[in-house]
Structure 1
Amino acid sequence: RVVIATDYDREGELIGKEAYELVREVNEDVPVDRVRFSSITENEVREAFANPDDLDFELAAAGEARQTIDLTWGAALTRFLSLSARQMGDDFISVGRVQGPTLKLIVDREREIQAFDPESYWELTGELAKSGGDPFEARYFYLNDEGNERERVWDEAVADALTEALDAADGATVDDVTRRTQTDDPPTPFNTTAFIRAAGSLGYSAQRAMSLAEDLYTAGYVTYPRTDNTVYPEDLEPEELIEELSAASTFGKDAASLLDEDRDGEIEPTEGDEETTDHPPIHPTGELPSASDLSDDEWEVYELIVRRFLATCADPATWERLRVVALANGEATPIAEGADGLAALRNPDEADGAADLVADGGLRLKANGKRLLEAGYHEVYPYRSSDERIVPDVEVGETLSLSDRTTEGKETQPPRRYGQSRLIEEMEKRQLGTKATRHRTIEKLYDRNYVESDPPRPTRLAEAVVEAAEEFADRIVSEEMTAQLEEDMAAIAAGEKGYDEVTAASRDLLSRVFDDLTESREAVGDHLQTSLKADKTLGPCPECGADLLVRKSRQGSYFVGCDGYPDCEYTLPLPSTGKPLILDETCGEHELRHVKMLAGRKTFVHGCPQCKADEADEQEDEVIGSCPECGDEHGGELAIKRLRSGSRLVGCTRYPDCDYSLPLPRRGEIEVTDETCEEHDLPHLRVHSGDEPWELGCPICNYREFTARQEGSELQAVEGIGEKTAAKLNDAGVDGVDELKSADPDDLAADVDGVGPDTVRDWQAKAD
């Protein structure tokens, strides 16, 4: 008997089908079962194996069609654009069926931002207070021509008149008091998109959030993290799962509180709009890790998932809303208002000065307060605000003092760039990619230098690719084509269409796209090359006036070189860490654009390369002691050196005859202290950066500690190994990846608490 237990989704079904075909090549009669489960827990896995099913060949065909179409479009278009732009090797220009429309989303939003024309407006506020009471903020408002409340005043002259009138008012009379209660419903269960958004609020990128969730799934602590579902399955017993979670030390009391509450019946979790038949929403399995079993990041994401589940099983919260409207120096009278923004009885054209504006009705001020009556799900889910805004009880006709009047001039703001979680929501809405691929698409955009920063901002290369596609073959970036494919995939899975029909239609469309591109190959190449050069240009060469460009050496390192080479050989170094990105900011002295070095979490702004080189040339080396390599024999000394690339180090003064060196931090002022290392007879160093100085200590001792930390971080680069697990492995004598790969899984598992032999084998496979 052969059992196929690949992932419970379209891609997993395709892998299962391929495994089935391999089995049938060697044995046509052996029984083949398909088992499906959404969490790696003993009960669910046993249940799945006890109730096997058959492979879904139509679902597998849908996955194969997607794979074929994505590969065909991606490979063909990437090759065409790269050859047209003469971008070979690692610098190729990639584009794909999902990548293209996603990139256009980002570029279109940037166009909106660049085209935005801000408008000026003014807002007025004041502090109201009961006699002897605490002040509370109130905001001026008026009714526009449609009868809607507005706070923004668009005419400066009107704002000035209102300011004068508000300043002249010595009090306010309560005109209206409204109280109401509001129900605040608990959140719906996590699907992939909602999870990524919640994790994003904790500071995790989409890729990082999914990686952590997948590690938790592999360890058996949460269900499968790639799901569109927002409705828990009928066989989920919330009370039983909450009972298991109540044993946890961190959130156990919160879980237990849900079981203690008086309820009319069983716990009924919330439901979202999406209900699918493959994976349930993301939720904990009931297998409880301790905090020491997980890295800090893993634990934070695990607790987020647990608390989201608890929140979906908790009661709604109840708020009391209190709204107070007061008239500054006016009586409670009907007010006729208009779009001019004057909350006065009289039309501004008829009013005679600021005092007259408030004479017959006053300026309207409003204050909105809220008070939490019943915390409900907020008790177990602290990720949504439950802050109160207190406004005291007042009565209509009551007189309030008015103080601290302010008029603040502002401008309308352009639309925000898409954050990663919001971008994934937009992709989902437009049917771009799947729950399993959207976060990886965004990661590719970063890897290919199409976007930088977070929220993602398009580079000039991204804009050029989208512009070329729009002009010469707009279907490359068309979201309609991708959405149609999603419908075709569903049709294949339902047996309404076949693999051959859908892939043939896609090839025909790709052929038409290539006809358009081929007709304009030269124009496409010129456009991309021009943009690529602009993306690499820093400014004028000080020697010949030609462009200085970021270039790549044969060894793979980056530097700044003159476009006039070989006639002009002027160069500037760049840091050896990271990939350079040219920023818009320009050096006022050298007219060169600043450079940022993209290096993952170690990304940093290098600044003007010419300034860095000049600073290094002007700074004298500061000798701090004898060189341990050649000091006794040749008199070499260690000195603090600044390199023209911007790096700093402690190095031997006899370089290049002696290349002994120790790294130093790139940022901060280095102070040589009076304290001396007894072992190495070198002064301790202190780095002034930020609020608190950093005691670096002896540079040799510091480098030893750094090397030890690097060995730990090398282990953490293996998927599934966090900081705490790496420390456990270090204690067991495994200091790096090589030791991990050569270790006996059974022996290592016996030495590391909470780790089994299969987990070690999984790490070893990933380390390869």
Structure 2
Amino acid sequence: MTKNLVIVESPAKAKTIKKYLGKDFEVLASYGHVRDLVPKDGAVDVQNGFAMKYQVIDRNEKHVKAIVSALKEADELWLATDPDREGEAISWHLAELLREKNALKGKPVKRVVFYEITQREIQEAIQNPRDISEDLVNAQQARRALDYLVGFNLSPLLWRKVQPGLSAGRVQSPALRLICERELEIRAFKPQEYWSLDARAEKSAQAFTARLIELDGKKVEQFTLGDAGAAEAAKNKILAAAGGTLLVKAIEKKQRRRNPGAPFTTSTLQQEANRKLGFTSKRTMQTAQQLYEGVDIAGETVGLITYMRTDSVTLSQDAIKDIRNVIQLQYGAGALPSEPRTYKAKSKNAQEAHEAVRPTSAARLPRQVAQFLKPDQAKLYELIWKRTVASQMEAAVFDTVSAELRAGSEHAFRATGSVLVEPGFLAAYDIRAQDPEDRDEGDEDDKRLPALVQGERVKLLELLPEQHFTQPPPRYTEASLVKTLEEFDIGRPSTYATIISTLQGRDYVRLEGKAFVPTDVGMIVNRFLTDHFEQYVDYEFTAHLEDDLDAVSRGEKQWKPLLAQFWNSFKPRIEEKMELSRKEVSEARVIGVDPASGKPVSARLGRFGPFVQIGTKDDEDKPRFASLRANQRIDTITLEQALALFQLPRRIGQLPNGDEVEVNIGRFGPYVKHGKSFVSLKKDDDPYTIELPRAIELIEQKAAALEAATLKVFDGTGIRIIKGRFGAYITDGSRRANVPRNRDVDGVTVFECEAWLAEAAAAAPKKGGKKGKAAARKAAAPAAGKAEKAAAKKPAAKKATVKKTAAKRAVAKKAPAKKAATKKKG
């Protein structure tokens, strides 16, 4: 009988821990969370003390069964999930679920935590178990409930007022606001011209440059030289005053020390991995997870780094001792400070009991383990190793020189240079390497000056005027967005990867190069939220809410009163904004006038994406519509570009059977039409440039897919039974009906198919609102005959039955004529 059952999140972690615990322990993975809120309204019962309704996550049900089975053979249950709120919640949910299933049967449940997967840490954790922390669990439940309340109430409002399929999140929305506000700053920015003037001088065949700092006895500011004329006038004035030489008026020499940065937190790791390696936050965290859980090093599974979700910059005493030994061996005693360096976290909510992200053993040099790692793993491990080791090394020392060079009495230049004297911590980064990406943030090349002597003159080779323009603030990259989110205290570093992925997945933002650009949808969603829910996308409000959640995790606040306070102000705002019209949310931008019709041309966001429109709903003729192309935006599209969109439909040729092929954009996106059939274009197909060969390819692909999915064909009728995603269905090309679940497809007859298609068509909502429905009922009356009149006197439920029966009879009259044609296959 197995004495101990240990549960962790992942199979990789389970494999590593099993090796350290031995034969008395069985280690299984839960594969993350085992249950979550039911995905429907009411999962957080606001009328009943915010009771949470959970259900087992479908994909993990089999893993729960394996745990229940293994628990029968165990004496004790050990919960060894990650040492944070999510890890605590996973343990709590699993324990609660096992109790509900009566699987524990009084067996002790012990919680253990460790920050690195090494034998020493794991065995020490086993010696010091604790209970599940209710405070951490409540903080996670409160966070989950808040996210649910926002998502399940605000997202449907966006569906109704802006566009279906949108979402709003408690933390993602302020992040979107940051990106959109930066975009508005960029659009409003007016560049301003200015010029700089550099002197290129020489001494002893060594050339160097100096920047103009004084002109006509006055300090040179950014806009002192505002245009080419001013720059040229200054150049001529200085050349005349200099007479071919510059006087070395003053020299200032000093030493500058530069200290290393702190070890990595989750946030700074994501920033540096993006800046140096080009990794997204998601890629960084996935790779770090692999290094933490363990990789195979020469046949031994080893956890290479400590837990990667942390806001602490602290290093343990054992780690510092290990790092200092490595520094002395690799870089010499001169690179080692007399005392270990200590760092203080900038985040006010940093958990100092945790450690920074560091190697589990600094003695594992990157070059030694690289052969055992995947490329991403090797790059990230080296980044973490260098930052950690450098953090405990001596400062780098530079000799800096600043020289003032004068042209006459009223004009001056300044030349600066620096020389690296003692590399200190920069030795860990191999600062003299040729690859600039191998250097730490802020590293700089040596910029040397010749040996200048005060009072001497140096040769003036030339003056170099250069035009500049002021630049708008840069768009956010992943690195700068993560840094700003942390500065504003929005969310937590462990959630940044998810926030960014959600913004991209919802098509609120797109990456252009490394920079985030908001889409039309993103801008409109942000405007809607800031106009109508400003408090809930306010940076300070979001930060305060994070503080409150941290207070819950420390046991300083109760979680349900926190939820009540939020809900009591949030719910009335939702109800109030339900009265908004779609026009109030997404106003049209007038672009110009169509020269052919004289009607206004406008652009706006509709239910199926951004579009342009010629005319208005008040015109005698209906307006014409055209969807914007992927690279076009509502706020920047020109009249010429808008009018070009109305060239659709495009006729692009004929099929061998003579059917005309044309391309158009419909309600559900761009498509190819051939004869009476339609094929949707793929995401990368452009309806304005697609040609006949690609259209034929799409047509053939659809035909092949249809043939592969066809279960049965009724020759001569156009009716076939198709294997669908949610079960078999019948179609004749225009109508569609499901095959009843209790019917075997092989036994289905053409008569049944006709009846089911007729029923489905009769039950389908008709176009045209109330008038359309009334007309449809009137048209159906002759077919129903007496049955329809009889139904008028019966209850509603019976009316529906009679109506279906009438439809079946109407179909049955036509069926015998087709019987011969379908007998063979039917």
> Fold match, TM over 0.5?
yes
Q: Deviations over 1:206-225 (max 9, x none)?
A: 22222222222223222222
Measure, in 1, the Cα distance between the counterparts of 2:359 and 2:690. Answer: 46
Cα shift at 1:40: 2.4
Q: Deviations over 1:88-133 (max 9, x none)?
A: 3xxx221111122112112222222222233222211111112x32
- When residues 392 and 63 of structure 1 are mapped into structure 2, their CA distance, relative to the original with a 3 A threshold, is same
Measure, in 1, the Cα distance between the counterparts of 2:607 and 2:595. Answer: 17
Give the structure 1 partner of residue 248 of structure 2.
174
Give the structure 2 partner of residue 136 of structure 1.
208
Question: Relative contact order (alpha carbons < 8 A, sep ≥ 6): 1 or 2 greater?
Answer: 1
- When residues 5 and 540 of structure 1 are mapped into structure 2, their CA distance, relative to the original with a 3 A threshold, is farther
2:573 matched to 1:513? yes
2:566 matched to 1:491? no
Contact 1:572 1:610 in 2 (8 A): no
Measure, in 2, the Cα distance between the counterparts of 1:643 and 1:105. Answer: 31
Contact 2:216 2:410 in 1 (8 A): no
Aligned partner of residue 400 in structure 1, secondary structure: strand
Measure, in 1, the Cα distance between the counterparts of 2:643 and 2:119. Answer: 58
- When residues 647 and 167 of structure 1 are mapped into structure 2, their CA distance, relative to the original with a 3 A threshold, is farther
Q: Deviations over 1:15-56 (max 9, x none)?
A: 222223234442463221111112223332222122212221
The one-letter code matched in structure 2 to 1:121 is Y
- When residues 462 and 400 of structure 1 are mapped into structure 2, their CA distance, relative to the original with a 3 A threshold, is same
Give the structure 1 partner of residue 106 of structure 2.
29
2:502 to 444, 454, 472: 444
- 1:90-169 aligned at under 5 Å gives the runs 92-130=165-203, 132-142=204-214, 150=221, 152-156=223-227, 159-168=231-240, 169=242
Cα shift at 1:390: 0.9
Measure, in 2, the Cα distance between the counterparts of 1:504 and 1:550. Answer: 35
Give the structure 2 partner of residue 327 of structure 1.
406
2:636 matched to 1:591? no
- When residues 613 and 42 of structure 1 are mapped into structure 2, their CA distance, relative to the original with a 3 A threshold, is farther
Measure, in 2, the Cα distance between the counterparts of 1:83 and 1:412. Answer: 42
- When residues 648 and 143 of structure 1 are mapped into structure 2, their CA distance, relative to the original with a 3 A threshold, is same
- 1:441-590 aligned at under 5 Å gives the runs 441-453=499-511, 454-518=514-578, 520-522=579-581, 525-530=582-587, 580-583=630-633
Give the structure 2 partner of residue 190 of structure 1.
264
Measure, in 2, the Cα distance between the counterparts of 1:176 and 1:184. Answer: 25
Aligned partner of residue 574 in structure 2, secondary structure: helix
Give the structure 1 partner of residue 439 of structure 2.
383
Is 287-296 or 428-437 further displaced after alignment? 287-296
Q: Deviations over 1:557-611 (max 9, x none)?
A: x99999899989999998xxxxx453589899962599xxxxxxxxxxxxx9979
Cα shift at 1:167: 2.8
Give the structure 2 partner of residue 70 of structure 1.
147
2:387 matched to 1:308? yes
Cα shift at 1:205: 2.0
Aligned partner of residue 515 in structure 2, secondary structure: coil
Contact 1:450 1:462 in 2 (8 A): yes
Aligned partner of residue 237 in structure 1, secondary structure: helix
- When residues 549 and 106 of structure 1 are mapped into structure 2, their CA distance, relative to the original with a 3 A threshold, is closer
Q: Deviations over 1:518-543 (max 9, x none)?
A: 3x422xx2244446x99xx9998999
Measure, in 2, the Cα distance between the counterparts of 1:4 and 1:107. Answer: 43
2:446 matched to 1:396? no
- When residues 270 and 30 of structure 1 are mapped into structure 2, their CA distance, relative to the original with a 3 A threshold, is same
Q: Deviations over 1:221-277 (max 9, x none)?
A: 22222111112133x33343576xx7xxxxxxx884146557575654655545524
Tell me the TM-score normalised to structure 2 length: 0.60
Give the structure 2 partner of residue 366 of structure 1.
414
Measure, in 2, the Cα distance between the counterparts of 1:176 and 1:80. Answer: 68
- When residues 263 and 654 of structure 1 are mapped into structure 2, their CA distance, relative to the original with a 3 A threshold, is closer
Cα shift at 1:155: 4.6
- When residues 171 and 311 of structure 1 are mapped into structure 2, their CA distance, relative to the original with a 3 A threshold, is same
Aligned residues: 562
Measure, in 2, the Cα distance between the counterparts of 1:102 and 1:658. Answer: 41
Measure, in 2, the Cα distance between the counterparts of 1:239 and 1:259. Answer: 15
Measure, in 2, the Cα distance between the counterparts of 1:559 and 1:84. Answer: 14
Contact 1:37 1:48 in 2 (8 A): yes
Cα shift at 1:645: 6.5
Cα shift at 1:462: 2.1
Measure, in 2, the Cα distance between the counterparts of 1:585 and 1:528. Answer: 15
Cα shift at 1:313: 2.1
The one-letter code matched in structure 2 to 1:294 is L
Contact 2:403 2:414 in 1 (8 A): yes
The one-letter code matched in structure 2 to 1:99 is Q
Contact 2:265 2:356 in 1 (8 A): yes
Contact 1:540 1:548 in 2 (8 A): no
Aligned partner of residue 436 in structure 1, secondary structure: helix
The one-letter code matched in structure 2 to 1:281 is A
Q: Deviations over 1:437-494 (max 9, x none)?
A: 1221122111111112231122222222222223333223222321221121122122
Give the structure 2 partner of residue 228 of structure 1.
311
Contact 2:210 2:414 in 1 (8 A): yes
- When residues 654 and 128 of structure 1 are mapped into structure 2, their CA distance, relative to the original with a 3 A threshold, is closer
The one-letter code matched in structure 2 to 1:162 is A
Measure, in 1, the Cα distance between the counterparts of 2:342 and 2:358. Answer: 12
Measure, in 2, the Cα distance between the counterparts of 1:572 and 1:104. Answer: 26
Aligned partner of residue 456 in structure 1, secondary structure: strand
Aligned partner of residue 370 in structure 1, secondary structure: strand
Q: Deviations over 1:281-336 (max 9, x none)?
A: 111123678434333222211211111112112221100110010101x2xxxxxx
- When residues 573 and 272 of structure 1 are mapped into structure 2, their CA distance, relative to the original with a 3 A threshold, is closer
- 1:662-701 aligned at under 5 Å gives the runs none
The one-letter code matched in structure 2 to 1:133 is A
- Percentage identity across paired residues of the two chains: 26
Aligned partner of residue 324 in structure 1, secondary structure: strand
- Structure 1: runs of 5+ lacking an equivalent: 247-253, 331-360, 575-579, 595-607, 619-641, 662-768
Give the structure 2 partner of residue 411 of structure 1.
469
Bigger radius of gyration among the two = 2
- When residues 82 and 659 of structure 1 are mapped into structure 2, their CA distance, relative to the original with a 3 A threshold, is closer
Contact 1:270 1:313 in 2 (8 A): no
Aligned partner of residue 91 in structure 2, secondary structure: helix
